Structure 1
Amino acid sequence: MIETRRVVGTSTDNVFAVLADGWSYAGWVVGNSHIRDVDAGWPAVGTRIHHSAGAWPAQIEDTTSVLAVKPGRYLELEAHLWVLGTARVRISIMPLHNGTGAEVIMEEEITGGPAKRLPEVVQGALFRSRNTESLARLGDLALGRATAVLSADETVVQ
Protein backbone atom coordinates (compact mmCIF):
# COMPACT_ATOMS: atom_id res chain seq x y z
CA MET A 1 0.00 0.00 0.00
CA ILE A 2 1.44 3.36 -1.05
CA GLU A 3 0.26 6.25 1.13
CA THR A 4 0.55 9.94 0.30
CA ARG A 5 -0.75 12.86 2.40
CA ARG A 6 -1.36 16.54 1.80
CA VAL A 7 -2.82 19.36 3.88
CA VAL A 8 -5.15 21.65 1.93
CA GLY A 9 -6.27 25.07 3.13
CA THR A 10 -9.96 24.53 2.43
CA SER A 11 -12.86 22.48 3.76
CA THR A 12 -13.45 18.77 3.31
CA ASP A 13 -16.58 19.68 1.34
CA ASN A 14 -14.56 21.70 -1.18
CA VAL A 15 -12.11 18.82 -1.65
CA PHE A 16 -14.92 16.29 -2.05
CA ALA A 17 -16.68 18.58 -4.54
CA VAL A 18 -13.71 18.11 -6.90
CA LEU A 19 -13.81 14.33 -6.40
CA ALA A 20 -17.57 14.36 -7.02
CA ASP A 21 -17.04 16.17 -10.34
CA GLY A 22 -16.02 13.30 -12.59
CA TRP A 23 -15.25 15.72 -15.41
CA SER A 24 -12.41 17.18 -13.29
CA TYR A 25 -10.63 13.79 -13.04
CA ALA A 26 -8.10 14.51 -15.80
CA GLY A 27 -7.35 17.84 -14.14
CA TRP A 28 -5.91 16.28 -11.01
CA VAL A 29 -4.99 12.65 -11.80
CA VAL A 30 -1.49 12.64 -13.26
CA GLY A 31 -1.36 10.64 -16.48
CA ASN A 32 -5.00 11.11 -17.45
CA SER A 33 -5.41 13.44 -20.37
CA HIS A 34 -9.05 13.34 -21.45
CA ILE A 35 -12.46 12.47 -19.99
CA ARG A 36 -14.68 10.80 -22.59
CA ASP A 37 -17.73 10.29 -20.38
CA VAL A 38 -18.89 10.19 -16.76
CA ASP A 39 -21.70 7.85 -15.75
CA ALA A 40 -24.85 9.52 -14.44
CA GLY A 41 -24.88 9.49 -10.65
CA TRP A 42 -21.08 9.72 -10.23
CA PRO A 43 -19.69 9.11 -7.58
CA ALA A 44 -22.28 6.48 -6.59
CA VAL A 45 -20.97 2.95 -6.09
CA GLY A 46 -20.61 1.21 -9.45
CA THR A 47 -20.47 4.38 -11.57
CA ARG A 48 -17.49 4.94 -13.85
CA ILE A 49 -15.37 7.61 -15.44
CA HIS A 50 -14.34 6.78 -19.00
CA HIS A 51 -10.97 8.41 -19.57
CA SER A 52 -7.91 8.40 -21.75
CA ALA A 53 -4.34 8.28 -20.53
CA GLY A 54 -1.21 9.40 -22.30
CA ALA A 55 -0.55 11.88 -25.08
CA TRP A 56 -2.29 11.87 -28.42
CA PRO A 57 -2.05 9.89 -30.67
CA ALA A 58 -0.87 7.17 -28.29
CA GLN A 59 -3.77 7.52 -25.86
CA ILE A 60 -5.15 4.49 -24.07
CA GLU A 61 -8.85 4.39 -23.28
CA ASP A 62 -9.76 3.03 -19.86
CA THR A 63 -12.17 3.38 -16.96
CA THR A 64 -12.17 4.05 -13.23
CA SER A 65 -15.09 2.88 -11.08
CA VAL A 66 -16.37 3.69 -7.60
CA LEU A 67 -16.09 0.88 -5.04
CA ALA A 68 -17.20 2.84 -1.95
CA VAL A 69 -18.15 6.40 -1.06
CA LYS A 70 -18.96 8.46 2.01
CA PRO A 71 -19.78 11.96 0.73
CA GLY A 72 -17.47 14.61 2.11
CA ARG A 73 -15.09 12.09 3.68
CA TYR A 74 -14.09 9.09 1.56
CA LEU A 75 -13.92 7.75 -1.99
CA GLU A 76 -12.58 4.35 -2.99
CA LEU A 77 -11.89 3.69 -6.65
CA GLU A 78 -10.79 0.84 -8.86
CA ALA A 79 -8.48 2.28 -11.48
CA HIS A 80 -7.54 0.27 -14.53
CA LEU A 81 -3.91 0.58 -15.53
CA TRP A 82 -4.31 -0.77 -19.06
CA VAL A 83 -2.00 -3.79 -19.53
CA LEU A 84 -0.33 -3.19 -16.16
CA GLY A 85 -3.44 -4.27 -14.23
CA THR A 86 -5.71 -2.63 -11.70
CA ALA A 87 -5.27 -0.58 -8.55
CA ARG A 88 -7.47 0.25 -5.57
CA VAL A 89 -7.22 3.92 -4.68
CA ARG A 90 -8.62 5.17 -1.37
CA ILE A 91 -8.97 8.91 -0.81
CA SER A 92 -9.83 10.00 2.73
CA ILE A 93 -10.50 13.62 3.68
CA MET A 94 -10.23 14.65 7.32
CA PRO A 95 -10.85 18.13 8.76
CA LEU A 96 -7.92 19.68 10.60
CA HIS A 97 -8.55 20.13 14.32
CA ASN A 98 -7.83 23.86 14.14
CA GLY A 99 -10.48 24.36 11.44
CA THR A 100 -8.05 25.77 8.85
CA GLY A 101 -8.43 23.08 6.22
CA ALA A 102 -8.31 19.37 5.56
CA GLU A 103 -5.82 16.55 5.30
CA VAL A 104 -6.20 14.41 2.20
CA ILE A 105 -4.80 10.88 2.35
CA MET A 106 -4.41 8.83 -0.82
CA GLU A 107 -3.65 5.12 -0.52
CA GLU A 108 -2.95 3.11 -3.64
CA GLU A 109 -2.55 -0.62 -3.93
CA ILE A 110 -1.95 -2.65 -7.08
CA THR A 111 -4.61 -5.37 -7.02
CA GLY A 112 -4.15 -7.22 -10.30
CA GLY A 113 -2.11 -7.67 -13.44
CA PRO A 114 1.64 -7.80 -14.04
CA ALA A 115 2.35 -4.68 -11.91
CA LYS A 116 1.19 -6.60 -8.82
CA ARG A 117 4.38 -8.66 -9.06
CA LEU A 118 6.58 -5.60 -8.55
CA PRO A 119 8.09 -5.33 -5.07
CA GLU A 120 6.40 -2.69 -2.90
CA VAL A 121 9.55 -0.56 -2.88
CA VAL A 122 9.44 -0.40 -6.70
CA GLN A 123 5.71 0.36 -6.68
CA GLY A 124 6.40 3.16 -4.20
CA ALA A 125 9.11 4.61 -6.43
CA LEU A 126 6.76 4.52 -9.42
CA PHE A 127 3.63 5.90 -7.79
CA ARG A 128 4.56 8.05 -4.76
CA SER A 129 5.76 11.10 -6.73
CA ARG A 130 2.79 10.76 -9.13
CA ASN A 131 0.37 10.66 -6.20
CA THR A 132 2.09 13.62 -4.52
CA GLU A 133 1.53 15.68 -7.67
CA SER A 134 -2.06 14.39 -8.01
CA LEU A 135 -2.85 15.54 -4.45
CA ALA A 136 -1.24 18.92 -5.14
CA ARG A 137 -3.48 19.33 -8.21
CA LEU A 138 -6.54 18.14 -6.27
CA GLY A 139 -5.77 20.68 -3.55
CA ASP A 140 -5.34 23.50 -6.06
CA LEU A 141 -8.65 22.68 -7.73
CA ALA A 142 -10.41 22.56 -4.34
CA LEU A 143 -8.92 25.94 -3.38
CA GLY A 144 -9.86 27.40 -6.75
CA ARG A 145 -13.40 26.08 -6.42
CA ALA A 146 -13.69 27.63 -2.94
CA THR A 147 -12.39 30.98 -4.23
CA ALA A 148 -14.79 30.92 -7.18
CA VAL A 149 -17.75 30.25 -4.86
CA LEU A 150 -16.68 33.11 -2.57
CA SER A 151 -16.29 35.45 -5.54
CA ALA A 152 -19.73 34.51 -6.86
CA ASP A 153 -21.25 35.13 -3.41
CA GLU A 154 -19.57 38.54 -3.17
CA THR A 155 -20.85 39.50 -6.61
CA VAL A 156 -24.42 38.65 -5.65
CA VAL A 157 -24.20 40.64 -2.39
CA GLN A 158 -22.90 43.78 -4.06
Structure 2
Amino acid sequence: MPVAPGDVFDVLADGWLYALWVVGASHIHDVDDTWPSVGARIHHGVGPWPMTLHDVTEVLAVDPPHSLELRARSWPVGSAWIRIALQPGEDGSTAIQMSERVSGGPGRLLPDAAQKLLLTPRNNESLKRLADIVVGRADADRQTHG
Protein backbone atom coordinates (compact mmCIF):
# COMPACT_ATOMS: atom_id res chain seq x y z
CA MET A 1 0.00 0.00 0.00
CA PRO A 2 1.30 3.46 -0.81
CA VAL A 3 0.94 4.64 2.81
CA ALA A 4 2.94 4.35 6.02
CA PRO A 5 2.32 1.48 8.48
CA GLY A 6 0.79 3.95 10.95
CA ASP A 7 -1.95 4.80 8.45
CA VAL A 8 -2.78 1.11 8.03
CA PHE A 9 -2.68 0.50 11.76
CA ASP A 10 -5.05 3.43 12.36
CA VAL A 11 -7.73 1.54 10.41
CA LEU A 12 -6.97 -1.73 12.24
CA ALA A 13 -7.21 0.17 15.52
CA ASP A 14 -10.73 1.39 14.74
CA GLY A 15 -12.84 -1.63 15.65
CA TRP A 16 -15.96 -0.03 14.20
CA LEU A 17 -14.39 -0.41 10.72
CA TYR A 18 -13.81 -4.17 11.15
CA ALA A 19 -16.93 -5.27 9.24
CA LEU A 20 -16.00 -3.00 6.33
CA TRP A 21 -12.82 -4.89 5.52
CA VAL A 22 -13.17 -8.38 7.05
CA VAL A 23 -14.95 -10.71 4.65
CA GLY A 24 -17.73 -12.50 6.54
CA ALA A 25 -18.14 -9.95 9.33
CA SER A 26 -21.54 -8.41 8.81
CA HIS A 27 -22.40 -6.14 11.73
CA ILE A 28 -20.53 -4.57 14.64
CA HIS A 29 -22.58 -4.54 17.85
CA ASP A 30 -19.97 -3.13 20.21
CA VAL A 31 -16.25 -2.43 20.47
CA ASP A 32 -14.47 -2.49 23.82
CA ASP A 33 -13.15 0.94 24.78
CA THR A 34 -9.65 -0.53 25.10
CA TRP A 35 -9.51 -1.87 21.50
CA PRO A 36 -6.92 -2.81 20.20
CA SER A 37 -5.17 -3.61 23.49
CA VAL A 38 -4.64 -7.24 24.53
CA GLY A 39 -7.91 -8.81 25.67
CA ALA A 40 -10.12 -6.19 24.02
CA ARG A 41 -13.00 -7.47 21.91
CA ILE A 42 -15.14 -6.55 18.96
CA HIS A 43 -18.67 -7.95 19.30
CA HIS A 44 -19.92 -8.70 15.81
CA GLY A 45 -22.18 -10.68 13.56
CA VAL A 46 -20.85 -13.19 11.05
CA GLY A 47 -22.69 -14.23 7.92
CA PRO A 48 -25.74 -12.97 6.08
CA TRP A 49 -28.98 -11.92 7.73
CA PRO A 50 -31.13 -13.67 8.93
CA MET A 51 -28.62 -16.45 9.65
CA THR A 52 -26.12 -14.15 11.36
CA LEU A 53 -24.10 -15.68 14.18
CA HIS A 54 -23.13 -13.35 17.02
CA ASP A 55 -19.64 -13.69 18.39
CA VAL A 56 -16.40 -11.86 19.19
CA THR A 57 -12.94 -11.15 17.89
CA GLU A 58 -10.33 -10.70 20.62
CA VAL A 59 -6.85 -9.16 20.56
CA LEU A 60 -4.18 -11.70 21.53
CA ALA A 61 -1.12 -9.51 20.89
CA VAL A 62 -0.46 -6.05 19.52
CA ASP A 63 2.67 -4.14 18.52
CA PRO A 64 1.55 -0.83 16.97
CA PRO A 65 2.12 -0.08 14.13
CA HIS A 66 3.79 -3.40 13.25
CA SER A 67 1.34 -6.20 14.02
CA LEU A 68 -2.01 -7.27 15.37
CA GLU A 69 -2.83 -10.83 16.43
CA LEU A 70 -6.46 -11.86 16.87
CA ARG A 71 -8.72 -14.77 17.77
CA ALA A 72 -11.93 -14.59 15.77
CA ARG A 73 -14.74 -16.78 17.02
CA SER A 74 -17.73 -17.94 15.06
CA TRP A 75 -19.38 -20.67 17.08
CA PRO A 76 -20.57 -23.31 16.42
CA VAL A 77 -18.31 -23.24 13.35
CA GLY A 78 -15.11 -22.63 15.31
CA SER A 79 -12.43 -20.04 15.84
CA ALA A 80 -9.41 -18.76 13.95
CA TRP A 81 -6.01 -17.32 14.81
CA ILE A 82 -5.16 -14.31 12.63
CA ARG A 83 -1.98 -12.26 12.43
CA ILE A 84 -1.63 -9.07 10.44
CA ALA A 85 1.97 -7.92 10.00
CA LEU A 86 2.91 -4.52 8.57
CA GLN A 87 6.35 -4.04 7.02
CA PRO A 88 7.47 -0.50 6.10
CA GLY A 89 8.95 0.06 2.67
CA GLU A 90 11.82 2.43 1.91
CA ASP A 91 9.48 4.59 -0.17
CA GLY A 92 6.98 5.15 2.68
CA SER A 93 4.75 2.28 1.59
CA THR A 94 3.59 -0.72 3.63
CA ALA A 95 3.64 -4.41 2.80
CA ILE A 96 0.95 -6.36 4.62
CA GLN A 97 0.95 -10.05 5.40
CA MET A 98 -2.18 -11.71 6.76
CA SER A 99 -1.83 -15.20 8.24
CA GLU A 100 -4.77 -17.28 9.42
CA ARG A 101 -5.42 -20.79 10.62
CA VAL A 102 -8.41 -22.49 12.16
CA SER A 103 -7.67 -22.88 15.87
CA GLY A 104 -10.87 -24.36 17.27
CA GLY A 105 -14.00 -26.23 16.31
CA PRO A 106 -14.55 -28.76 13.55
CA GLY A 107 -12.52 -26.84 10.95
CA ARG A 108 -9.37 -27.47 12.98
CA LEU A 109 -9.44 -31.05 11.68
CA LEU A 110 -8.82 -29.84 8.11
CA PRO A 111 -5.23 -30.30 6.92
CA ASP A 112 -3.16 -27.10 6.59
CA ALA A 113 -3.27 -27.30 2.78
CA ALA A 114 -7.08 -27.43 2.79
CA GLN A 115 -7.28 -24.54 5.25
CA LYS A 116 -4.97 -22.48 3.04
CA LEU A 117 -7.06 -23.28 -0.03
CA LEU A 118 -10.22 -22.08 1.76
CA LEU A 119 -8.80 -19.08 3.64
CA THR A 120 -6.42 -17.49 1.11
CA PRO A 121 -9.07 -16.08 -1.28
CA ARG A 122 -11.06 -14.63 1.66
CA ASN A 123 -7.96 -13.07 3.19
CA ASN A 124 -6.86 -11.64 -0.17
CA GLU A 125 -10.27 -9.97 -0.53
CA SER A 126 -10.07 -8.69 3.07
CA LEU A 127 -6.69 -7.12 2.30
CA LYS A 128 -8.06 -5.49 -0.86
CA ARG A 129 -10.91 -4.00 1.19
CA LEU A 130 -8.47 -2.84 3.86
CA ALA A 131 -6.31 -1.19 1.18
CA ASP A 132 -9.33 0.62 -0.27
CA ILE A 133 -10.20 2.06 3.14
CA VAL A 134 -6.62 3.02 4.04
CA VAL A 135 -5.76 4.58 0.68
CA GLY A 136 -9.16 6.31 0.47
CA ARG A 137 -8.64 7.88 3.90
CA ALA A 138 -5.12 9.00 2.97
CA ASP A 139 -6.37 10.55 -0.28
CA ALA A 140 -9.21 12.34 1.54
CA ASP A 141 -6.79 13.61 4.18
CA ARG A 142 -4.44 14.96 1.47
CA GLN A 143 -7.33 16.76 -0.23
CA THR A 144 -8.56 18.23 3.04
CA HIS A 145 -5.18 19.28 4.44
CA GLY A 146 -3.34 19.98 1.19
TM-score, normalization by structure 2: 0.96
| Among 32, 49, 52, the residue aligned to 1:59 | 52
1:153 CA drift (Å): 1.0
1:46 aligns with 2:39: yes
Letter matched to residue 23 of structure 1: W
TM-score, normalization by structure 1: 0.89
The higher relative CO (CA closer than 8 Å, separation ≥ 6) is in 1
| Among 23, 26, 39, the residue aligned to 2:16 | 23
Any stretches of 5+ residues in structure 2 without a counterpart? none
1:81 CA drift (Å): 2.6
Distance 2:54 2:41 in 1: 13
RMSD: 1.0
Distance 1:17 1:146 in 2: 11
Give the conservation status (yes or no) of the 8 Å contact 2:54–2:74: no
Letter matched to residue 107 of structure 1: S
Letter matched to residue 75 of structure 1: L
Q: Which has the larger radius of gyration?
A: 1
1:115 CA drift (Å): 0.5
Distance 1:122 1:84 in 2: 16
Distance 1:139 1:153 in 2: 21
| Among 99, 102, 126, the residue aligned to 1:134 | 126
Any stretches of 5+ residues in structure 1 without a counterpart? 1-7
1:120 CA drift (Å): 1.3
| Among 117, 124, 134, the residue aligned to 2:109 | 117
Percent identity reads 47
Structure 1 range deviating more: 106-115 or 20-29: 106-115
1:41 CA drift (Å): 1.5
Total equivalences in the alignment: 146
| Among 78, 89, 93, the residue aligned to 1:96 | 89
